[in-house]
């Protein structure tokens, strides 16, 4: 925050010191030196995000043949391309939802202080460090046709045929949950820690059992944070690429939109089409985020508007 | 639903330790229905711990709590049905004033029409009718405080617990709210346990005071008893006995003690085991009489004079060099020599060393 010095104050300082300091002269124009700290960040953002985005955007409107919109027309008229949106949604939405919903009860149990909390948090967060490829390898080892899970199921006569849990929808889904859960959990935990614990104590003293405390006090205060967590989880899941290839069925049930973009750009060398798909991907994500944030704002008003 | 009427709430030797530290030790107290009890002590003496144990927010490490014949210390807070006012108010920020107040009734599944009536009644009682639809952050400190109180009394709990409810208010509002709480207590006759570090607050509001130090009860008594006859030098210090003169015991006869030193010789009332040769004479600044013939006379020289409206607070030097504080309406100037005297029953003589743990037998 910058507090612009009033002309009188600046004049007074100038009168005392002879000449106002650089800081005061800048402050008079509403510039605080602290603002300079933002410069590297802004530069970074321009170089790493804004420039590639604008470049990609213009590229998507400059196809090798056809009018400026022909890439988009192709995408939406070709079911093989168009359906990747639904495929990605069908993987990303449930995975993000599961990650958020599973985080809530675990984080809720862990919101207080107890012995071993740090160890438990570390254990829950470790999958972040694994990376997608390692997770995929682990999944193949574990739930693949000759993996431990199927071995166990067959040994106990629970199934005749091995359960197919990789190289299909479920492989990608599990991979997304394993890598996405720690993010969601950490976020939900920090949102929960931000809620004053005496609020729940107050609710308890007024006769609310834990269910009611959660429903009337914790959940309404946590919900905006859950919306944000969902958005971030969804973005992570929606741009799924490596696991869709490694443990999915990249030419069929898990042909996600990122694969389509990759295919266009690096196998058909149609960068313009690849850019168009990337733009569509971004637009879909933004649409979902806008929807969730819209819900978040109604929820705020609902909670503050008062009920029963 | 709880039975609202009870004849006594009994704390039987309750205690709570955190790791190796005893925050509250062996508190035994029988509270009559409708009584206003103040738990008094400095910060960190275990007042909040005691209150949280009563509310069920902290499990006890020793002792038991009884509501008449019913043992309640195993019940979770939601099943004790007590009302609690938190030091930081702990209002639900996402609920309106009305919803905050209605919360306890809603949890008790009170029918809608009755709920509305009772919430309205309480809002009128604490003068919040005009703010029913506001959210807590939109209220002033005093209004938030009233919501916190309204919320805790609307379901007519058998016991209301208040944890330093006025400590976050400015001086003027604190006075107004003090009267307000007292008025509410007189109107509703709710058994109230009130935690404070302010002895004026405790003395002016409570039927009985419990003075705590380092988790140990020092004295239990009416405001008159605690103010007039503090059980030990610690309680005396807390009750405004600002002059604590460490002197030698010259003679003890029954309840009368004579102490000397610092060029003074005081006769006063003996408290506790005065076998020690050293004693502390506790005297309140307002009990000292200036320029009047009386017992316990001593020559002092005024050093600092503070203007306090219709009287002065004077810091003077005793012949031995120690300070003596007194209040007087006489206009003294720094450097003035004067004679002061103290009625013998206003000089309280305590053993010099009173470890917190040894105090119980005395109290
Ligand atoms: N949760 C806790 N863990 C460890 N020590 C605590 C805890 N709560 C209180 N204490 C300790 O117990 C003592 C009494 O605390 P408290 O009851 O809050 O005092 P008061 O309310 O009189 O200021 C303090 O020394 C405090 O440090
Ligand atoms: Mg406290």
Minimal Cα distance from A200: which residue of B?
Answer: B90
- How far apart CA B312 and CA B338 sit, in angstroms, is 14
Residues of A in contact with B135 (CB under 8 A): 304
Three-state secondary structure call for residue B161: strand
In our burial notation (b when 16+ CB lie closer than 10 A, e otherwise), range A276-287 reads bbbbbbbebbee
Mean pLDDT of B1-27: 86
Residue A121: which domain range?
A: 82-296
Ligand 1 neighbourhood includes B42 CB (under 6 angstroms): no
pLDDT category of residue B1 using cuts at 50, 70 and 90 = very low
- How far apart CA A151 and CA A156 sit, in angstroms, is 9
For residue B221, give the nearest of B234, B232, B211 by alpha carbon: B211
Query: Lowest-confidence range among A193-197, B156-160, B312-316?
Result: A193-197
At A126 the pLDDT is 84
- B195: tokens are 């935690």
Residues of A with CB under 8 A from a CB of B: 196, 198-199, 201-209, 212, 216-217, 220-221, 303-304, 306-308
Verify whether the Cβ–Cβ distance A207 to B78 is below 8 Å. yes
Query: Lowest-confidence range among A43-47, B67-71, B215-219?
Result: A43-47
Q: Report which DSSP code applies to B132.
A: T
Angle at A39 (CA atoms; ends A37, A40), nearest 5 degrees: 95
pLDDT surpasses 80 at B22: yes
Residues of B in contact with A208 (CB under 8 A): 78, 103, 107
Domain B8-228 CATH class label: alpha beta
Plot region of B240 (φ>0 → left; ψ -120 to 50 → alpha; else → beta): left
Answer yes or no: is A169 within a domain: yes
Domain B233-362: CATH superfamily, name plus number: Nucleic acid-binding proteins (2.40.50.140)
pTM exceeding 0.80: yes
Verify whether the Cβ–Cβ distance A307 to B99 is below 8 Å. yes
Answer yes or no: is A213 within a domain: yes
Q: Report which DSSP code applies to B286.
A: G
Q: Which ligand is nearest to the CA of B197?
A: 1
Across all residues in chain B, what is the average pLDDT? Answer: 90
pLDDT surpasses 70 at B122: yes
pLDDT category of residue B177 using cuts at 50, 70 and 90 = confident
Minimal Cα distance from A204: which residue of B?
Answer: B78
At B3 the pLDDT is 45
What is the total residue count of chain A? 308
Q: Where in chain B is the domain with CATH 3.40.50.300?
A: 8-228
Q: How many domains does chain A have?
A: 1
Instruction: Tell me the backbone φ, ψ of residue B8, rounded to 5 degrees.
Output: -150, 145
Segments of chain A with pLDDT less than 50: 1-5, 10, 14, 300-308
Ligand 1 neighbourhood includes B54 CB (under 6 angstroms): no
At A9 the pLDDT is 53
- How far apart CA B331 and CA B341 sit, in angstroms, is 17
* Higher pLDDT among residues B100 and A37, named by residue: B100
CATH number at residue A200: 1.10.3720.10
Inter-chain Cβ pairs, chain A and chain B, closer than 8 A: 81
H/E element, A261: helix A257-262
- How far apart CA B305 and CA B333 sit, in angstroms, is 7
Q: Which ligand is nearest to the CA of B86?
A: 2
In angstroms, the separation between the Cα of residue A224 and the nearest Cα of chain B is 12
pLDDT category of residue B68 using cuts at 50, 70 and 90 = very high
Ligand 1 neighbourhood includes B43 CB (under 6 angstroms): yes
Distance B210 CA to ligand 1 centre (A): 18
Q: Where in chain B is the domain with CATH 2.40.50.140?
A: 233-362
At A301 the pLDDT is 45
In our burial notation (b when 16+ CB lie closer than 10 A, e otherwise), range A53-80 reads eeebeebbbebeeeeeebbbebbeeeee
Answer yes or no: is A203 within a domain: yes
Verify whether the Cβ–Cβ distance B92 to A202 is below 8 Å. yes
Q: Which atom of ligand 1 is nearest to the CA of B47?
A: 22
Q: Report yes or no: B175 at the A interface, CB cutoff 8 Å.
A: no
- A23: tokens are 């800081």
At A12 the pLDDT is 52
Count of CB atoms situated within 10 Å of the CB of B88: 15
State the pairing for strand pair B298-308/B348-351.
unpaired
pLDDT surpasses 80 at B66: yes
Secondary structure (DSSP) of B39-71: EE--TTSSHHHHHHHHHTSS--SEEEEEETTEE
- B26: tokens are 């062996």
At A32 the pLDDT is 75
- How far apart CA B319 and CA B280 sit, in angstroms, is 17
Distance A166 CA to ligand 2 centre (A): 57
Distance B93 CA to ligand 2 centre (A): 22
Which residue has the CA at smallest separation from atom 25 of ligand 1?
A: B44
* Higher pLDDT among residues B226 and A299, named by residue: B226
pLDDT surpasses 80 at B5: no
Q: What's the Cα-to-Cα distance from A106 to each of A167, A182, A185, A222, A255, rounded to whole Å? A: 30, 11, 8, 14, 32
Answer yes or no: is A8 within a domain: no
CB contact residues (below 8 A), chain B span 108-127, against chain A: 108, 112
Answer yes or no: is A175 within a domain: yes
pLDDT surpasses 90 at B28: yes
Ligand 1 neighbourhood includes B92 CB (under 6 angstroms): no
Minimal Cα distance from B96: which residue of A?
Answer: A306
Nearest-CB residue to A205 (from B77, B96, B106): B77
Question: What value does the CA radius of gyration of chain B take, rounded to a whole number of Å?
Answer: 24
Verify whether the Cβ–Cβ distance A205 to B76 is below 8 Å. no
Answer yes or no: is A56 within a domain: no
Answer yes or no: is A3 within a domain: no
Which residues pair with residue B325 across a beta bridge?
B315
Count of CB atoms situated within 10 Å of the CB of B225: 14
Answer yes or no: is A76 within a domain: no
Q: Report yes or no: B77 at the A interface, CB cutoff 8 Å.
A: yes
CB contact residues (below 8 A), chain B span 207-266, against chain A: none
In angstroms, the separation between the Cα of residue B88 and the nearest Cα of chain A is 9
Q: Which atom of ligand 1 is nearest to the CA of B24?
A: 14
Query: Lowest-confidence range among A80-89, B128-137, B266-275?
Result: B266-275
Nearest-CB residue to B90 (from A196, A207, A216): A196
Angle at B219 (CA atoms; ends B215, B224), nearest 5 degrees: 140
- For residue A130, give every residue at least 6 positions away whose Cβ sits within 8 Å of its Cβ, in sequence order, or none: A138, A178, A179
Contact, B216 vs B233, CB < 8 A?
no
pLDDT surpasses 50 at B2: no
Which of B43, B49, B51 should be mutated for ligand 1, with most atoms under 8 A from CB? B49
State pLDDT tens for residues B197-209.
Answer: 999 999 999 999 9
Longest dimension (CA), chain B: 74
pLDDT surpasses 60 at B297: yes
Instruction: Tell me the backbone φ, ψ of residue B263, rounded to 5 degrees.
Output: 75, 15
Angle of helix A127-143 versus helix A169-193 axis, rounded to 10: 150
At B39 the pLDDT is 96
Q: Report yes or no: B165 at the A interface, CB cutoff 8 Å.
A: no
Ligand 1 neighbourhood includes B45 CB (under 6 angstroms): yes
pLDDT surpasses 50 at B311: yes
Ligand 1 neighbourhood includes B52 CB (under 6 angstroms): no
Q: Report yes or no: B103 at the A interface, CB cutoff 8 Å.
A: yes
pLDDT surpasses 70 at B327: yes
Verify whether the Cβ–Cβ distance B88 to A212 is below 8 Å. no
Verify whether the Cβ–Cβ distance B107 to A207 is below 8 Å. yes
At A194 the pLDDT is 86
Which residue has the CA at smallest separation from atom 18 of ligand 1?
A: B48
For residue B100, give the nearest of B154, B48, B47 by alpha carbon: B154
- B57: tokens are 């927010």
- How far apart CA A208 and CA A74 sit, in angstroms, is 58
Q: Report yes or no: B55 at the A interface, CB cutoff 8 Å.
A: yes
Nearest-CB residue to B107 (from A199, A206, A221): A206
H/E element, B105: helix B97-107
For residue B305, give the nearest of B294, B314, B296, B297 by alpha carbon: B314
């Amino acid at each position: 925050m910058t507090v612009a010095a009033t002309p009188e104050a600046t004049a007074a300082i100038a009168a005392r010191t002879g000449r106002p300091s650089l800081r005061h002269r800048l402050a008079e124009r509403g510039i605080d030196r602290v603002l300079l700290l933002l410069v590297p960040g802004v530069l970074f953002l321009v170089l790493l995000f804004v420039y590639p985005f604008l470049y990609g955007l213009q590229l998507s409107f400059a196809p090798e043949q056809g009018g400026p919109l022909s890439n988009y027309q192709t995408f939406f008229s070709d079911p093989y391309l168009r359906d990747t949106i639904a495929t990605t949604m069908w993987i990303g939405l449930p995975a993000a939802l599961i990650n958020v919903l599973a985080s809530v009860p675990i984080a809720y149990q862990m919101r207080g202080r107890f012995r071993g909390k740090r160890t438990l948090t570390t254990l829950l967060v470790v999958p972040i460090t694994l990376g997608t490829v390692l997770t995929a390898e682990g999944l193949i080892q574990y739930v693949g046709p000759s993996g431990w899970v199927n071995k166990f199921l067959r040994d106990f006569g629970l199934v005749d045929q091995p359960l197919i849990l990789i190289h299909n929808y479920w492989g990608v889904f599990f991979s997304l949950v394993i890598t996405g859960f720690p993010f969601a959990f950490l976020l939900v935990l920090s949102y929960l820690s931000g809620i004053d614990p005496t609020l729940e104590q107050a609710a308890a003293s007024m006769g609310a059992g834990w269910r009611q405390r959660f429903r009337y006090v914790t959940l309404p205060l946590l919900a905006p944070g859950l919306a944000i967590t969902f958005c971030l989880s969804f973005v992570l899941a929606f741009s799924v690429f490596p696991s869709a290839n490694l443990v999915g069925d990249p030419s069929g049930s898990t042909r996600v939109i990122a694969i389509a973009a990759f295919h266009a750009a690096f196998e058909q060398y149609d960068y313009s089409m690849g850019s168009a798909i990337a733009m569509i991907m971004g637009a879909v994500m933004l649409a979902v985020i806008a929807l969730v944030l819209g819900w978040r704002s109604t929820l705020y008003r609902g909670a503050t508007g008062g009920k029963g | 639903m709880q039975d609202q009427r009870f004849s006594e709430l009994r704390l039987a030797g309750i205690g709570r330790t955190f790791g190796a530290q005893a925050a509250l030790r062996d508190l035994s107290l029988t509270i009559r229905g409708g009584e206003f009890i103040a738990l008094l002590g400095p910060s960190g003496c275990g007042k909040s711990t005691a209150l949280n144990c009563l509310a069920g927010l902290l499990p006890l490490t020793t002792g038991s709590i009884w509501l008449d014949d019913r043992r309640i210390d195993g019940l979770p807070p939601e099943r004790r049905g007590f009302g609690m006012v938190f030091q930081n108010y702990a209002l639900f920020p996402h609920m309106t004033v009305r919803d905050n107040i209605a919360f306890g009734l809603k949890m008790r599944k009170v029918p809608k029409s009755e709920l509305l009536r009772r919430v309205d009644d309480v809002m009128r009682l604490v003068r919040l009718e005009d703010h029913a639809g506001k959210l807590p952050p939109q209220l002033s400190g005093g209004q938030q405080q009233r919501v916190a109180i309204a919320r805790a009394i609307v379901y007519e709990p058998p016991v209301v617990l208040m944890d330093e409810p006025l400590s976050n208010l400015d001086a003027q509002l604190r006075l107004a709210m003090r009267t307000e709480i007292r008025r509410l207590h007189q109107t509703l006759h709710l058994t109230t346990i009130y935690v404070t570090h302010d002895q004026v607050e405790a003395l002016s509001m409570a039927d009985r005071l419990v003075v705590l130090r380092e988790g140990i009860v020092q004295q239990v008594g009416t405001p008159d008893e605690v103010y007039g006859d503090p059980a030990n030098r610690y309680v005396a210090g807390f009750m405004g006995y600002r002059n604590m003169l460490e002197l030698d015991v010259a003679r003890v006869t029954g309840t009368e003690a004579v102490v000397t030193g610092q060029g003074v010789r005081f006769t006063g009332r003996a408290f506790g085991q005065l076998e020690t040769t050293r004693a502390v004479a506790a005297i309140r600044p307002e009990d000292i009489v200036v320029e009047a013939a009386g017992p316990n006379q001593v020559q002092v020289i005024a050093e600092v004079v503070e203007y306090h409206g219709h009287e002065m607070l004077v810091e003077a030097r005793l012949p031995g060099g120690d300070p003596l504080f007194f209040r007087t309406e006489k206009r003294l100037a720094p450097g003035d020599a004067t004679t002061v005297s103290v009625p013998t029953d206003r000089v309280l003589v305590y053993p010099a060393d009173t470890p917190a743990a040894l105090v119980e037998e005395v109290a």
